Every structure is written in C-alpha cells, then in structure tokens.
A and B are shown apart, each in its own frame.
Chain A
C-alpha cells in the first residue's frame, strides 16, 4: 500500500473551489444538482441543500453514527464525507426506505419492537441495519450487534434494536 501511495496517480485530479462548486448527488434514485462549498459535508448537503433532515447531526465528527447513510450501498458517516467526494454517487437515506407511504420492513420492525425512544439516532440505526441485511439476510445476534456498534443510542434502546433487526430479517425473508 505504501509504495502505491507515493507513486504519482494517473487519475486526473479535479480541482474544486475555492468558492462554491456544482455537484450531482443521486439521492434515493433522484438526481439533484447542488452548489456547495468544497468544505460542505455530505450530511450538510443532504440536510441544508436538499432539506433531507432524516440523517441527524449529533457529533459532526464521526463518533456517533446518527448520520449514517449508504453510499453506493456501503454505510458511511455522512458527516465524515465531503459532498464533493460524493459527486455522481448513489446515496440512500432514511427518506428512501418507505415506499408509497408504507413502512419498510426494518422501519416496521423498529416501531413494533419499540426499538426507539427519542428517535434521534434511529435513522442511523436503521440505515446500519439496512446495510447489514442487504449484505447478510440471515444475521445472527452477534452480527447485528457488530453492525450497529458504531451507532450510539443514549436512551439505551439497544436490546430492542437487536430484536428489531432480527425481526426485520424475518419480515424481509417472508416478503421475498
């Protein structure tokens, strides 16, 4: 890895900024063009430029997971990515889960198991569970714990989040 890092890159580097720059974000299947400063995080772009406030900002420094979204299918902390890094990428947020007013099975399981209290960490928890179940439809309890171990919940809904994730796996299995 180290040798690769010092070798000059062939990929063309696009210089962004200073000042605002136009990028394209594909969010929940819809393409949005937004003008952002290079320092704007993906989280702020979603929340402020697109009005998608489902992903929460609780720390803004990659320590809590409340802003978890999926970028090209992988869960990331949206506060730790710059919006310009996500130019042209496909982003899935909590707002994209429910379809036609019907809760996604993971959301349904969270509600039924009461896997939320204040709910501020919930969108992040659900997105982490989504990433897990997309990858592994039949997780064990340990898999679930590991998948949400980067999502803090101060209300302590963890036991019910575990239950909800396992229930959601079942619901998705029945549905498919």
Chain B
C-alpha cells in the first residue's frame, strides 16, 4: 500500500523536505558478489546507431506540415523600459504571420514578478517581441522592421556594486535574492579561529561560464483542438508540462511534452523556457505549428550560465593539520533572473570534519544574462576555492596536501550528523595517488615548468522518489520498459535496458525502452543532479521484478511445472520438471494478446544515513614560462558512485566531465563589456571550449562499492562528480609549477605571465 511520508532529499547542495507517497519497498540491492549478466557490463548504447546515422530526430530536427518559424527580438540595452513597440512594418512583410509582444499577448507571469513579455528589459538579450513567419530568413528580416522606443534605465553589471545601497535596482525589493544572505552555521566560529595555530584568509574569484550545448534550446508547439503538444529540448518533460499547463491555464492532461533525443543540456535545460511558452502562444494565435529554436548567440545570452563568484574564504587549523574553523562569504552574480541559486558553500560545509563553520551566500541580481544550473552548480566553484586554500594550508604547515586531506577525513555527514551510507573517498585518494605516482616531486625547471596538484569531490547523486516505470512483456517474448524520464546524452536508455534484462532474465536485444513522452503518463524527475539512474533505475528494476513474477505465475500453469522450480535465463524458462528449456514467447503464444504488465516505483531514501558520491583527481601540468600557456598533461581520477551499471557509458561521462572542467580551468569565460552590458564573446569563435587538441591523457578508475542503502541497485549518480574537482586540481598543479598561486579562474596566459613577474 502506498505510504505518505515526509522525506529529506539532497539536490545540488540543498536539503529539501517534502511529502512523498512512497511505494516499491522490499527489493534489496544485488550484493557486491552477485553474478550479474548485464549490469556492470560494457554494453554499447542501444540507441547509438540512431545517433551515428543522423536518424535520431532531435527537437531541432522536428519539421511538421505547415510549420511556421519564430525569431525573438532581444533587448540591445542592459536595462530599459519599453515605451512603445510598433510592429506594423514587420507585420506587412510578405510571409510574416504574426508578431507577438506585450501588447497582444496575455500577461503571463514568469519567474518572480516578471512576465513572458515584460515592459522592462533587464539584460542585453532579454525577450522583447517575437516574429512568426513562413521561414527563418523572413522572420529574421522582419525583426529589423520592428520599432521599439526604449526609456534607458541605469544598470549594474558587477555583483559587488549591485549590493551597494545606491546601486540601480532590478527589482523593487532590491538586488539581493530573498532580501538577505543564505546563512549556514555550526559550532562557534570565534572559538574555532581562536583555537587555530594557523589562520589563512584569501579571496577567490571564478568566472561566468556558458553551457554551449551543441543543440540549441528550442521548442515546437502544435495545437490540436484545445490540446497542446510540445517537442522540447529539455531535461524535464514533466516539469515543462506542469509549467505550460499552469501558465496557459490548461489541465495537465491537455498538455503533452515530447523529447526523444537531446543535444546536451548540462543543467541549462532543467526548466521551462520563455521560448516554449511563446511558441505555444504563437501556435494558438496562428493556428499552425510553430518552431522556435535559438541561434548560437542567443544560446550564449539567454539560456543560462554558471555564474561568476567571489569567495572570501578563511580557514583555521592546528599544527597537526586538524581544521578548527572555516568561514565562507560568497557573492554570486545571478544575472537578471534566478530560479535556483547554486550552493557555493556546499563543499566547505561537507567535505571535511570541521566543527566550527559558517557559510554566507549573497545571490545578487545584475543586468546580465541569467544564471541556471550548470553541471554541479556551486560545487565546481566552491571546490576550486576550498581545495586551493587547503593546498595553501598544507604548504604553511609543511604537510603533503593529500596528508592534510586525510587528516580531516570524516565518515560523518558534517551537516546532519548522520553517517554516510558508504564512503569510498579514502580508497579514491589511495588508488589515485598510486596511479598518479603521488607525491612525485617534479624535475628541475627550465622554460617549461611542471607541476602536480590534486583535489577532492563531494556531491549528492542520491536520486529521489517519485519515479515510476512499467515493464511489459509482449506476446512475442520481447519486453518494453516505459518510463517518463529522458536521455540527455548520458545513456539512460541503455542503462534501463540493462537493469530490465538483468531482472527479467531476458537477452538485452529483447528489451526496448520508451522514454521522453509525458503521454506515457509515468512521472520521472528531471534529469539533473546526477540522479536519473538512482531515481528511475530502481523503479525499472521493481517493474521488471513484478513482470517476472507474473510471467512465472503464468508459465507454471501453462507448462504445468512447479512455480518455485522455474528459472528464466536468456529468455528461456527452465525447470527440472521440463524436458528442455521453453522460450517465453512459447509460453505466451497460446494466450492470445495477454500482456504482462509489471509496475515499479522508486523506494524512499533512507532516513538514518546520507547517500553521497565522492572522488579524487590528480593533475599534472606544464606551464610555458615564455608564453604563459598551460598544458594539462595528465588527469588521474578515481570516483565512488556506488555500483557501476555500464562502465562504457560511465567512462564517457567521466572523461566528458573532466574535459569540461579543463575548459573551465583554463579558458572558458563570458566577457561582458562594462560600458554597454553587451556580451562580446557570445559565439564559439571567441568563447573557447575544449577542442580535440586540448585533451590530456585521462586515467580513471571507480571504487565500485555498491551502496546497499542507496536504492535497490546500489548505484549512485556520476554525471556531475567528474567535473567538480578538475579545475581545483589543475589550479593546484599550476600553483605547484609556478611557486605562486593565482586566485582567479580561468588560468589564462595573461594571468600566468603576470604571476611569473612576481
């Protein structure tokens, strides 16, 4: 029977307490030695061929009969009031079907006190109007014919300036999100610092980084009567459905959201976008399907970013390295809108045993493009500052950096006092150090200086209810997994097929997986927070288990064999009572169109332990003292994410996370012109992401310790962990090479050369 309980779930550094209806208890995790046939095996993606042949239809590829295209007019000013819009000339251009703006659309509120088409624009790139036309070129032409009269308002770009009392205000209640900082405290900070033998305080700065997913954000909207279907490039089809229904005043069952393939999200596609709502409004207005996809420049202006941070971090320790106090004051530049501020203090609060601690976070509105989640939001930034300062502390104490980290190791979650369900960080340190050859003292230095550094990773990755799945066994002996999750490029479909095949005893070729459509009705949470496998996987296993039980019930009667004697392997039913194994379809073929339908739900999270992921990375760099160029030679990573379901797709995520972390460490940075608020590198020519030529040698291993308390798989997430410590490890290696530390990311040549002058 379903139970209503209150549960605590950690999502991206914040603990949420909510009521959930839980089901699905009673299936214990496979133990570490269980002989598994599909789970834990390197199985190539089941949808790899579609992606490799160009057949996979992404939202960007959806073309419907009679479809119109939308292009959004964006503000050229960082802060202005729209006095008037004249769309007449645009509307008369042949091929233009509609122009939407605040004048002819319902006033739909969107994020705080703002609207889909607002009369105030708050950053360069904010939505002003939208042209709907027969083709994109025509829509683009028409944008230039819209006349907008702006009343220019004073603007503020810098978060520290925005906190000043006389700063221009983005909102009537001021520029600070929530009106006050987010504060976390434990112990007695003053006492902690008084007990310390060494106190170090530094300010770290991290840049604003842009996602640049390869598939731009976009939606296609189609009305059939009063029902709306939307194809959306999203990490959360059910979230988009809920948002659209709420904003458009529709019942949930009248909105269907589909996302079959997606070209990357990295957090920027977690939530409903304005373009989606505009596409739906325009499709209703014109009576035709409407597609709005953003171009690369819009991607870099309006779809989110990892916000810049300023972190004042103070650390106190005894001579033996034991931490006595930690204090963080962080300022985050939210941009113009903010749904979910990153938790920059997360690593400081959780990573080490430290009794006296305070984190204070100011999330500040500025007249720049809005932040969004970006792969381990807050933790990448926070880990850079914390792990940099830990290295400085080690230097000050004359300790090895790894030794200092081990000195402050904790088996207890410092924020709740609960033990960790499992924690493989010590093993990650030890194995990483061995693989890397730590501590290796670099050879004598010439023009090329070598350096080594390391950093630690902590992140939730625990997954959460609710998530549902069905497993159907079809009359032909195949099985279909149905769930409302989405594959954002991580290999979700493959992993779910492995779980179902394992539990059913079917060959994996007999399993198909249907996801990415709300019409299937089975809710699954957003694909973010490294929680898809740990949320949806257990529901799939439960559904497969139930389907298997039904199959055994039926087979026992059809085959006239004792039920307990029956086993299923490779899709064949065997029993000592049978002369030879019988294929599943042979059992079902005489039952007409009888279907087996197993139902599964994600079990609740444990209340008495904290489920987390851990890891450690080691970096070796060379720095060219003539050019300032940093070359990352080698990254060694060892992570603990519980049981590994698919080592092949997992290794891709690990490598990808490290490579994104490398870009963040060395060259990625949004640059905003101080005088105009214009992003000067809103394209892939000038915003530098890693290319094939930047890739270091990457060596990694998994601790691979199934976590029986986490869920019935023993698996945790791995999407975000690998990006978390990379920049910190590289920064520590660069500091080791240079002999001086740079406190600001990215570590550009200019900064390196400047540091070398001292």
Q: Footprint of B on A, CB under 8 Å?
A: 37, 39-40, 47-48, 51-61, 63-64, 66, 93-95, 97-98, 103, 107, 110-112, 114, 116-123, 126, 144-146, 148-149, 151-162
Contact check, B684 vs A59: say whether CB atoms are below 8 A apart: yes
Q: A103-B49, A114-B651 are in contact. Are A58 and B263 (CB under 8 A)?
A: yes
Pick the contact of B137: A39, A110, A114, A152 (CB < 8 A): A39
Given known A53-B54, A64-B214, A158-B659, contact A114–B690 (CB-CB < 8 A): no
Is the CB–CB distance between B657 and A119 below 8 Å? no
CB-nearest residue of chain A to B687: A63
What is the chain B residue whose CB lies nearest that of A59?
B296
In this complex, the member of A48, A110, A120, A152 whose beta carbon has the largest number of chain B beta carbons within 10 angstroms is: A120
Instruction: State whether A114 touches B48 (Cβ < 8 A).
Output: yes
Closest A residue to B295 using CB positions: A60
- Do residues B52 and A111 form an inter-chain contact, with CB atoms below 8 A? yes
Contact: B53 with A118, CB < 8 Å?
Answer: no
Query: Is there an interface contact between A157 and B652, defined as CB atoms closer than 8 Å?
Result: yes
Q: Is the CB of B53 within 8 A of A54?
A: yes
What CA separation (Å) do A6 and B215 show in the bound complex? 42
B261–A119 touching, CB < 8 Å: yes
A114 lies within 8 A of B63 (CB): no
The one of A59, A118, A158 that contacts B695, using a Cβ cutoff of 8 Å: A158
**Further contacts, 14 of them, CB under 8 A, given A60-B295, A149-B692:** A53-B63, A58-B296, A94-B53, A94-B54, A103-B49, A107-B49, A107-B53, A111-B44, A119-B51, A120-B214, A154-B266, A154-B689, A155-B652, A159-B698
Contact with A along B41-60 (1 / 0, CB 8 A): 00011001111111111101
* Nearest chain A residue, comparing its CB with the CB of B43: A114
Instruction: State how many angstroms separate the Cβ of B34 from the closest Cβ of chain A.
Output: 25
Cβ–Cβ < 8 Å partners of B295 in chain A: 60
21 A-B contacts (beta carbon < 8 Å): A37-B137, A48-B135, A54-B53, A54-B55, A56-B60, A58-B214, A59-B296, A59-B684, A64-B214, A66-B214, A111-B49, A116-B51, A116-B52, A119-B56, A119-B261, A145-B693, A149-B691, A158-B659, A158-B695, A159-B698, A160-B655
Q: Tell me which residues across on chain B come within 8 A of A160, comparing CB atoms.
A: 652, 655
Residue among A53, A60, A148 facing the most chain B CB atoms (10 A cut-off): A53
Q: Across the interface, name the chain B residue whose C-beta is closest to A103.
A: B49
Q: Are B684 and A152 touching (Cβ within 8 A)?
A: yes
Asked if residues B48 and A116 are in contact (CB atoms below 8 Å), the reply is yes
B648 within 8 A of A: yes
Q: How far is the CB of A129 from chain B (nearest CB, A)?
A: 11
B649 touches A156 (CB 8 A): no
Residues of B contacting A53 with CB < 8 Å?
A: 54, 57, 60-61, 63
CB-based nearest A residue for B54: A54
- CB B659 to nearest CB in A, in angstroms, measures 3
CA distance A38 to B266 in the complex (A): 37
Q: Does B732 contact A (CB under 8 A)?
A: no
* Interface membership of B213, Cβ < 8 A: yes
* A154 to B649 alpha-carbon distance, docked (Å): 16
Least Cβ–Cβ distance between A80 and chain B, in angstroms: 12
Query: Given B214, B655, B683, B692, which contacts A61 in the complex, CB threshold below 8 Å?
Result: B683
Residues of B within 8 A of A152 (CB): 214, 684, 689, 691
Q: Is B263's CB under 8 angstroms from A120's CB? A: yes
Interfacial chain B residues near A60, Cβ < 8 Å: 295-296
Partner of B649, one of A48, A103, A114, A119: A114
Which residues of chain B have C-beta atoms less than 8 A from A123's C-beta? 52, 54
- Once bound together, how far apart are the Cα atoms of A76 and B658, in whole Å? 29
Q: Contact: A121 with B214, CB < 8 Å?
A: yes
Q: Contacts of A40 on B, CB cut-off 8 Å?
A: 137
Complex CA gap A47/B49 in Å reads 20
Bits for B281-318, please: 1 = Cβ < 8 Å to A, else 0.
00000000000000110000000000000000000000
Query: Closest chain B residue to A62 by CB distance?
Result: B685
* Minimal beta-carbon separation of A149 from chain B (angstroms): 5
Q: Are B53 and A117 in contact (CB under 8 A)?
A: no
How many residues of B are counted as interface, with CB atoms below 8 angstroms from the partner's CB atoms? 56
Say whether B262 faces chain A, with CB atoms less than 8 Å apart: yes
Are B45 and A111 neighbours in the complex by a CB distance under 8 Å? Answer: yes
Q: How far is the CB of A168 from chain B (nearest CB, A)?
A: 11
Q: For the complex, is B343 an interface residue (Cβ under 8 Å from A)?
A: no
Is B656 positioned at the interface, with any CB of A under 8 Å from its CB? yes
Contact flags B207-234 to A (C-beta < 8 A → 1, else 0)? 0000111111000000000000000000
- B422 smallest CB distance to A (angstroms): 27
Query: Quick check: A63 and B684 within 8 Å, CB to CB?
Result: yes
* Contact residues in A for B482 (Cβ distance below 8 Å): none
**In whole angstroms, what is the CA distance A60 to B299 when docked?**
12
B264 and A155 contacting across the interface, CB-CB below 8 Å: yes
Given the complex, which residues of A lie within 8 Å of B698, measured CB to CB? Answer: 159
A129 to B261, CA, bound (A): 23
Residue pair A154, B214 in contact (C-beta under 8 Å): yes
Given the known A-B contacts A58-B263, A153-B214, are A118 and B691 also in contact in the complex, defined by CB atoms under 8 Å? no
- Would you give the shortest CB distance from A138 to chain B, in whole angstroms? 19
Check B695 against A159 for contact (C-beta < 8 Å). yes
Instruction: Say if the beta carbon of B660 comes within 8 Å of chain A.
Output: yes
* B490 contacts chain A at the CB level, 8 A cutoff: yes
A47 to B262: give the CA distance in the assembly, Å. 18
Q: A112 CA to B266 CA in the complex, in Å?
A: 24
In the bound complex, CA of A121 to CA of B60 (Å) = 13
Contacts of B212 in A (CB 8 A): 154
Instruction: For the complex, give the distance between the alpha carbons of A141 and B220 in Å.
Output: 41
B693 pairs with A56, CB closer than 8 A: no
Do B658 and A156 touch (CB < 8 A)?
yes
Interface string of B690-710 (1 = CB under 8 A from A): 111101001000000000000
A63-B685, A111-B45 are known contacts. Are A119 and B691 too (CB-CB below 8 A)? no
Determine if A120 and B58 form an interchain contact, defined as CB atoms under 8 angstroms apart.
yes
Query: Which residues of chain B come closer than 8 Å to A37, judged between CB atoms?
Result: 137
Q: Could you say which of A52, A112, A155 has the most chain B C-beta atoms within 10 Å of its C-beta? A: A155
Nearest CB in chain A: distance from B463 CB, A: 20
Judged by a CB distance under 8 angstroms, whether B251 is at the interface is no
Give CA–CA (A37, B136) in the complex, Å: 12
Bound Cα distance A93, B55 (Å): 12
- Shortest beta-carbon distance from B505 to chain A in Å: 25
Name the residue of chain A whose CB is nearest to the CB of B655.
Answer: A159
Closest residue on chain B to residue A54 by CB atoms: B54
Q: Mark B489-503, 1 if CB is under 8 A from A, else 0.
A: 111000000000000
**Residue numbers in B under 8 Å from A146 (CB-CB):** 692-693
Chain A residues with Cβ below 8 Å from B658 are 156
Distance in angstroms between the alpha carbons of A6 and B261 in the assembled complex:
50
Whether B146 sits at the interface, judged by CB under 8 Å, is no
Cβ–Cβ contact A110 & B48, under 8 A? yes
Which residue of chain A lies nearest to B211 when distances are taken between CB atoms in the complex? A154
The yes or no answer to B621 lying at the interface (CB within 8 A) is: no
Q: Which residues of B contact A120 (CB under 8 A)?
A: 58, 60, 213-215, 263-264
Q: Which of A58, A122, A162 has the most CB of B within 10 A?
A: A58
Q: Which residues of the partner chain A approach B695 to less than 8 Å between Cβ atoms?
A: 145, 158-159, 162
**If A58-B296, A118-B215, A149-B693 touch, does A156 touch B660 (CB 8 Å cutoff)?**
yes
Residues of chain B within 8 A of A121, CB atoms compared: 214, 263
Q: Does B488 contact A (CB under 8 A)?
A: yes
Q: Is A119's CB under 8 angstroms from B263's CB?
A: yes
- The one of A61, A119, A151 in contact with B685, judged by C-beta atoms closer than 8 angstroms, is A61
Docked pose: A6 CA to B56 CA in angstroms:
47
* Assembly CA distance A148 to B683 (angstroms): 19
CB neighbours of B685 from chain A (8 A): 61, 63
A93 near B657 with CB under 8 A, answer no
Give the nearest-CB partner of A108 in chain B: B52
Most buried by A among B52, B295, B689, B698: B52
Interface string of B666-689 (1 = CB under 8 A from A): 000000000000000001110001
What residues on B are CB-neighbors of A55 within 8 Å?
A: 54
A135 to B25, CA, bound (A): 58
What is the bound-complex CA distance between A40 and B136, given in angstroms? 11
The minimal Cβ–Cβ distance linking B37 to chain A, given in whole angstroms, is 19
| A117-B215 Cα distance, complex, nearest whole Å | 12
B711 to chain A, nearest CB (A): 24
